[in-house]
Structure 1
């Protein structure tokens, strides 16, 4: 009974109540009929009654005479038998009607559940807007709509704040970078000034990457508006070629992996994973990129051999600004890389998982919905990506390649 749905429970309750009421009615009828028959019998129980017997061919119907007590018992037995059959039939009909009525009563709750599931996919703009009489279900739906309204305003306010703050911080950082570069190029600049300028430029660049990562994270959490056909194998091949000179051997096994979404954000996902695997590697290490199709999903897997990652630390790596303790000292990245990967993947109705690689390192798998050939719009990436197109994409999302795990 623990696994019964509310509809089944309501049906069982309704059917049980009908059967209990019918049983009580039959019992009362039995008592009343018996009391009536007892009043008609003589005190010595010698009264007899005529009951129609089988029809005779010559004389017609015959009467079979029996005692009053036998007549009473036969009548009561017939009442119980016929009443029980009728009660069973009514019970079956009541259960059927109860099943239909329960579905009708629970239909608004199904609507609330479906809306809640859609809202869980970051669609906070949707409302239930239940119509009908103002009963308990209508009050529940209105309360849920009011909660969604407050959540929507809160999330919008948070996103606008992050976007505005990130945008406003870009201007002073750009000015600082320009001033430092000018100071470094002055012919009369002493070596200590040049060294200080290089250090400040590195710090400034890290802050720019942080701001760019926050903008990307805020954008991905607002949902995607571009739904182009994308092959993850093409993007992975392009990202791998960009990082061939990183000092890490990059291995690729790229089968077609057609999906849909924003190619700029998806390139950012692959770039973050690859850059993370490069930064946290070992001397003469390797990094592998694999794309494949499994059922109704396409998968991108990036693995590397690097420092050992404890399994209990993996969930925290997907949180913003969360990095392993032994990696903080390196000062690389912003701690937003895997957060951006997860946010962009969820915005594309996908999922991302990670597990420690045998011998050290990390294996991250991104799963996205498969785009069937008959449903594919015009491709946003060709099989051999033009250099100019990819250069434009890289300029917009690849300018901060180290927004990774950190």
Structure 2
């Protein structure tokens, strides 16, 4: 025994009970219809007994020619001639037939009426149950939208705001709204703390950089002092880039409210054109028009981080990267593909977590592990998404999808190609 619970269905057992497979609306409809059918059957049975008791009993003829079972005003048997026995038998048969036909008609027609009323009742019960469950559907839809929002804390500003009587469903909705409000305040406070702390740390780091630069440029500075100052400047620069990354991450986790039309193809071309300081890897461009709307600065940072990540995690020699933009399925796409080490599919999600990198719990000296975290945050702030897939032979294919901006959409796609021999320099860690 390893302590693991076997949750599979035991042999010989069938599916779970029907009540566990029916929706709440279906169960309420069954309850409504079942109760009405039961009440109708009881009413029909009581009516049958009462009618049976009120129906007159048929008279019975004796061999002597007298009728028994029917009494006159005096309550004694009434004597009739013996030659009318056959007529009496005929009357008795007619009375019995009429009684049986009346009771049979009562059961048949009552059953048909009960069946029709039950069908109407089940239909009405289905509609009434759906009407009664509408507030629950509203709560479920709100919870689904919040759970499906990209980014931590995004979507928590939404409220149910259910109107109606102060019943149990209204109490549930109000409690859910209260929980959302507290979570929203908590996430907002966390983002504000990161932003404020980052802003407060920028000033002393800038002062430290100025003092170190002044110390290493003095004419009487010793070689040891200059070497120490240069090392401290490197450390101070890393800290400044870390603070800048934290600020960008905090800002990009908020939804972008003011958006302007931009073309991802132009942004990608601009980012690639700026990277011309030295050879590193071959770059392939396939830039078709990709019109979207958003913050151009954040979208440029998104593209820059993808390119820098593709360069940093590439092969030492003979590597390449490809940048592609275009439209597909009513969305615009930015795809960055690179060569590099082989990546397992289950490890791709790790690279999107802050301060973490592939096959490492912590980052090393080449970066801080914020690049792709910022990419995902920026994409989420623009109602987009980002995904990474391992490339056959090593490397990654990172794809960003964003909504199409109809104002910039054109029927013809423009493409800009660059020779495969173009080189991109090593990107600086952010």
Would you call these one fold, judging by a TM-score over 0.5?
A: yes
Contact 1:170 1:208 (C-alpha < 8 Å) held by counterparts: yes
Partner of 1:291: 325
Contact 1:254 1:289 (C-alpha < 8 Å) held by counterparts: yes
Partner of 1:359: 393
| Partner Cα distance (2:303, 2:286) in 1 | 14
In structure 2, the gaps of 5 or more residues are: 1-17, 70-89, 417-426
> 1:254 aligned to 2:281?
no
> 1:11 aligned to 2:29?
yes
Q: Tell me by how many angstroms 1:357 deviates.
A: 1.5
Query: What pairs with 1:7-406 in structure 2 (closer than 5 Å)?
Result: 7-37=25-55, 40-42=57-59, 66-120=93-147, 121=149, 122-245=154-277, 247-282=280-315, 283-325=317-359, 330-373=364-407, 402-403=429-430
Contact 1:30 1:79 (C-alpha < 8 Å) held by counterparts: yes
- Alpha-carbon RMSD across the aligned residues, in angstroms, is 3.0
Q: Tell me by how many angstroms 1:329 deviates.
A: 6.9
Contact 1:272 1:401 (C-alpha < 8 Å) held by counterparts: no
| Partner Cα distance (2:394, 2:32) in 1 | 61
Partner SS, residue 230 of structure 2: helix
Alpha-carbon distance change, 251 to 209 in structure 1, aligned in 2, over 3 angstroms: same
Partner of 1:390: none
- Write out per-residue CA displacement over residues 163-195 of structure 1, whole angstroms, 9 at most, x where no aligned residue: 110000101111111112222222333333222
| Partner Cα distance (2:266, 2:353) in 1 | 28
- Normalising by structure 1, report the TM-score: 0.82
Alpha-carbon distance change, 374 to 303 in structure 1, aligned in 2, over 3 angstroms: closer
Q: Tell me by how many angstroms 1:289 deviates.
A: 0.7
| Partner Cα distance (1:165, 1:375) in 2 | 41
- Write out per-residue CA displacement over residues 288-333 of structure 1, whole angstroms, 9 at most, x where no aligned residue: 1111211121111111111222222211211111113469674111
Partner SS, residue 40 of structure 1: coil
| Partner Cα distance (2:97, 2:243) in 1 | 99
| Partner Cα distance (1:194, 1:71) in 2 | 124
Alpha-carbon distance change, 106 to 367 in structure 1, aligned in 2, over 3 angstroms: same
| Partner Cα distance (1:123, 1:329) in 2 | 30
Alpha-carbon distance change, 5 to 401 in structure 1, aligned in 2, over 3 angstroms: farther
Alpha-carbon distance change, 66 to 175 in structure 1, aligned in 2, over 3 angstroms: same
In structure 1, the gaps of 5 or more residues are: 49-62, 377-382, 385-399
Partner SS, residue 133 of structure 2: helix
CA radius of gyration, larger in: 2
Number of matched pairs: 369
